[in-house]
A and B are shown apart, each in its own frame.
Chain A
Amino acid sequence: MEKSKNTIHLIDVKTGQHLKIVSTPHGILKAQFVRLGIHEGEKVKCYEHLPGGTIVLQKNRQHIAVGHKLAKQILVEVLDGKGR
């Protein structure tokens, strides 16, 4: 896992930011993330950061809601405006 200075927890991202997934929790959750196309190295966008920390990720046309507790366990790297 390459950590850069831009690596933060998913819960700390802002609406509209482009992100690269650095790590997700293990076990069944990981399997579910991989199925939905959210895994290490994948580029996504924070579609919405709701009050309380529920995050909606966007990947192409797909939207995935991530609860605030889970968002604390996911590491992401913030990319610049157009995805790097």
Chain B
Amino acid sequence: MNGNKSENINHFEKHKHSELSFLERDLTKRKIVLVGNPNVGKSLIFNELSGMNVEVSNYPGTTVEIIKGRYNNYEVYDTPGVYGVSSFNDEERVARDEILEADIIFNVIDGTHLERDLFLTQQLIDMGKKIVVFLNFMDDVRKHVIEIDIEKLSQFMGVEVIPIIAVKKVGIEKLADAITKAREGAQRDDMHKYLHSMLKMVGTQAEALLILEGDEYIAKRHGVPPGTTRDEIYIGRRNRVNYIVNQVMRDTSVKIRFSEFFSRWAIRPITGIPILIIALYLAYLFVGKFVAQDVVNLTEKQIGKEIWEPWIRDVVSTIVPVTSWLNTILVGEFGVITMTTTYLLFLLLPLVVSFYIALSLMEDSGYLPRLATMVDYTLSKIGLNGRAVIPLILGFGCITSATITTRLLSSEREKTIATALLQFVIPCSAQMAVIAALMAGAGFGAMVIYVVTIFTVLIAIGTILNKFLRGESAPLLLDLPPMRVPRITNIARKTTLRTFHFMKEAAGWFFVGALAIGIAQITGFLEFAQHALRPLTTHWLQLPPDTATAFIMGVVRRDFGAAGLYQLQLAPMQITVALITITLFVPCIASLMVMMKERGIKEGVIIWIGTWIVAFLIGGLVSQIVI
């Protein structure tokens, strides 16, 4: 092997298959890009490098976050976890572009998953990028009694390999030093044969390789046809990686760890279903009971309604006369200052934070992929695969962002089904919290009717769409990351970022909504609409006429609508009917917009109108039966 290596290096010298000779770079702003498979600890290393000075933005046209920081003179980028560089999905496309632009790549790999992770490492080397490999989870490697000959690994790959334990900050002091050690690795001999002709047409080795591997996007950029040699190159790379792993690693462990038991239990329905129920119950105790009732009671009622609103009302009324229309708009029943602030800060904020904590825990522990595996067959009955459990669960957070994540599903058919289910039946966190709070007052029977009804509608819509939409759904193929105890810092970071994004997006709509309702109130439109909807609300749904206001508010935002119900005096069965209707009712304007953008105007409008019909139809039917 040594002979081959030096030949490789010579070959390099002659050909200069590297980017820097072709592209001029601004050397004052060099880019370090962190690359690795999902769940290998990239973010921890990113945080170590960039500290608090972090910018987050969405990659244009995707929900994929780009996280950018600074370290000395370098820009540091975190990328989404990928198993290889190509353009199979949004995450990969984002990672691909970051990698192509990188000056130095910090490749983080999981020491307990060398075989899987080194494929990406070898691909980065084949691309001719300058890299340093961080071998993470060395504590797990020792615990599992795996022996890795790091020096030998480094020789084979031709790059520096630094063992670290990111969570315990072991080896982190070597980060600064690592930058100077980044270099192009030992390329496979056969790569040259492939690269030779393509390089003349394209210019950079990295892009030439991706084109040879059949990457249509990069090929299009350069106006050349995508290559047809992906399978050959991939299998060659896989064989080399397997060979290296065989040479450098010895796995001698026999002991089965608790996390492995738990992993199996989470997958098998007989234990997995109880685990799911316990997980959902714990999430309910935390989000639905502790936060939605105890915390919100304090923030919304005690602080919002008793301290904040009277105070701001007094302040505003000293400037704007109480009887004027402006006063009503600003601090009236639906005032843009009073109601918006109370709903946003004292009702929604605690709910959303708690929801994102629960979600991040499920994600970081590795539970979600196992849940996806367990439910895969069941979801295939409604035309989805297990992966769809992710947008569906995210939908319990925010329908708008969940609608965008339906992109991770592979076929148009699945995207349509998942989007429809989200928009029709899944209540978002803010709405669900209000639902949970109202439900607590309505009793167990009401809850059973509610859950059964919503669930039946979900199955009905899924089954109908699965039957009538053309095509076939893509099968599940999912790598299950190891189950690990989630890190508090990571949970806190994710929760903060997501909450911030959510509040930023929600705030505007709440102001618009409050303003619209306020104007409707002054102009008398609200009364008119309540009147016009009366046959529906009072006769068909058998609810008080005021409920119409909640529905009108619900058009703006679902949670806004559910929150509107909060103010009304309703009997237990009326609560059930109102909640069923508001759950099935139209998605908020923001998610309507996103849906039309994602799925096209026609499909968006059909689904939107569909929700009106289904909501009032089902709500009314239940009402006629139970009231």
A interface list, Cβ under 8 A from B: 26, 28-37, 39, 47-48, 50-54, 56, 59-70, 73
Q: A34–B88 Cα gap in the complex (Å)?
A: 14
Known contacts A35-B83, A39-B235, A51-B269, A65 near B115 by CB under 8 Å: no
Contact with A61, one of B113, B120, B268 (Cβ below 8 angstroms): B113
Residues of A within 8 A of B376 (CB): 50, 52, 54, 65, 67-68
Of the four ranges (under 10, 10 to 19, 20 to 34, 35 or more), the interface on chain B belongs to 35 or more
Contact with A65, one of B112, B378, B386 (Cβ below 8 angstroms): B386
Q: A19 to nearest B CB, angstroms?
A: 16
Residues of B within 8 A of A28 (CB): 88
User: Hey, what's the 0/1 contact readout for B356-388 against A, CB within 8 Å counting as 1?
Assistant: 000000000000010011101110100001100
Q: A65–B230 Cα gap in the complex (Å)?
A: 23
Q: A30–B235 Cα gap in the complex (Å)?
A: 10
Complex interface: stretch among B73-81, B474-482, B512-520: B474-482
Q: A28–B337 Cα gap in the complex (Å)?
A: 53
Residues of A within 8 A of B369 (CB): 65
User: Is B86 part of the binding interface, using a Cβ–Cβ cutoff of 8 Å?
Assistant: yes
User: CB distance B480 to A56 under 8 Å?
Assistant: yes
Q: Which of B455-489 contact A (CB under 8 A)?
A: 475-480, 482
Residues of A within 8 A of B112 (CB): 61
Q: A31–B84 Cα gap in the complex (Å)?
A: 9
Known contacts A35-B119, A60-B115, A65 near B372 by CB under 8 Å: yes
Residues of B within 8 A of A69 (CB): 380, 475
User: Is B188 part of the binding interface, using a Cβ–Cβ cutoff of 8 Å?
Assistant: no
User: CB distance A66 to B269 under 8 Å?
Assistant: no
User: CB distance B475 to A70 under 8 Å?
Assistant: yes
Residues of B within 8 A of A35 (CB): 83-84, 116, 119-120, 234, 238
Known contacts A34-B235, A36-B116, A61 near B480 by CB under 8 Å: no
Q: A32-B477, A34-B235, A63-B480 are in contact. List 8 more A-B contacts (CB 8 A).
A: A30-B231, A35-B234, A48-B268, A50-B374, A67-B475, A67-B477, A68-B376, A68-B380
Residues of B within 8 A of A62 (CB): 113, 115-116, 479-480
Complex: chain B residue closest to A66, CB-CB: B477
User: Is B144 part of the binding interface, using a Cβ–Cβ cutoff of 8 Å?
Assistant: yes
User: CB distance A32 to B238 under 8 Å?
Assistant: no
Known contacts A29-B477, A39-B235, A66-B477, A50 near B115 by CB under 8 Å: no
Which of the listed residues A28, A29, A73 has the most CB atoms from chain B within 10 Å of its own CB?
A28
User: CB distance B386 to A67 under 8 Å?
Assistant: yes
User: CB distance A54 to B84 under 8 Å?
Assistant: no
Q: A34–B86 Cα gap in the complex (Å)?
A: 13
User: CB distance A64 to B235 under 8 Å?
Assistant: no
Residues of A within 8 A of B386 (CB): 54, 65, 67
Q: A52–B251 Cα gap in the complex (Å)?
A: 33
User: CB distance B478 to A65 under 8 Å?
Assistant: yes
Residues of B within 8 A of A31 (CB): 84, 86, 88, 230-231, 234
User: Is B267 part of the binding interface, using a Cβ–Cβ cutoff of 8 Å?
Assistant: yes
Residues of B within 8 A of A50 (CB): 267-269, 373-374, 376-377
User: Is B264 part of the binding interface, using a Cβ–Cβ cutoff of 8 Å?
Assistant: yes
Residues of B within 8 A of A34 (CB): 119, 231, 234-235, 238
User: CB distance A54 to B373 under 8 Å?
Assistant: yes
Q: A43–B385 Cα gap in the complex (Å)?
A: 26
User: Hey, what's the 0/1 contact readout for B67-103 against A, CB within 8 Å counting as 1?
Assistant: 0000000000000000110101000000000000000
Contact with B385, one of A53, A63, A67 (Cβ below 8 angstroms): A67
Residues of A within 8 A of B477 (CB): 29, 32-33, 64-67, 70
Sample of 19 A–B contacts (CB below 8 Å): A34-B235, A48-B268, A50-B268, A52-B376, A53-B377, A59-B115, A61-B112, A62-B113, A62-B479, A63-B263, A63-B479, A65-B373, A65-B476, A67-B380, A67-B477, A68-B376, A68-B475, A70-B475, A73-B475
User: Is B242 part of the binding interface, using a Cβ–Cβ cutoff of 8 Å?
Assistant: yes
Q: A48–B116 Cα gap in the complex (Å)?
A: 20
Q: A73–B477 Cα gap in the complex (Å)?
A: 12
Q: A48–B373 Cα gap in the complex (Å)?
A: 11
User: Hey, what's the 0/1 contact readout for B252-272 against A, CB within 8 Å counting as 1?
Assistant: 000000000001100111000
User: CB distance B251 to A60 under 8 Å?
Assistant: yes
Q: B83 to nearest A CB, angstroms?
A: 5
Complex: chain A residue closest to B237, CB-CB: A34
